Amino acid sequence: MKKNIALVAHDNRKNDLVEWVRHNREKLSGNHFFATGTTGSLLADVLDDVHRLKSGPLGGDQQLGALIAEEKIDFMIFFWDPMASQPHDVDVKALLRMTVLYNIPTACNRSSADFLITSPLFTDEDYQPAKKDYSTYLNRLTKNTTT
């Protein structure tokens, strides 16, 4: 079964991500990819089936977040730059929050990306990450806003 993999990189990490993808092209082939803006353009030269979203600062991070909320993303590789402030830091934080909220396996650097794609679970067609039931939280939140 093909997986839907989000690929994202900040400007200073785009070349690192492209190099990593090129190095792991064989392991990654046969999957569907979603990438933001320029990253998607760069990866389209290396991978097949790259769906390009808007640039991160123009809403691409939010598009990915929506795909995660719709349970359309299985993994995310996000090479972010911890040394540079981003004009859309709040969007980045929201995207990472969505991966935690929906328990999406996420790699934020080359080492964790290597571990993720070499795990037997990466190719396990039956593996489904556990989903947390937030209904109790939502019911409590709704109850507090109506009283």
Active site residues: 61
Give the integer Cα–Cα distance in Å for 66 and 83.
27
Q: Helix-strand-coil percent breakdown of the chain, rounded to 5?
A: 50, 15, 35
109: left (phi over 0), alpha (psi -120 to 50) or beta: beta
List Cα–Cα distances, 121 to 74, 109, 118, 140, in angstroms. Answer: 11, 19, 8, 35
Helix (H) or strand (E) holding 63: helix 60-69
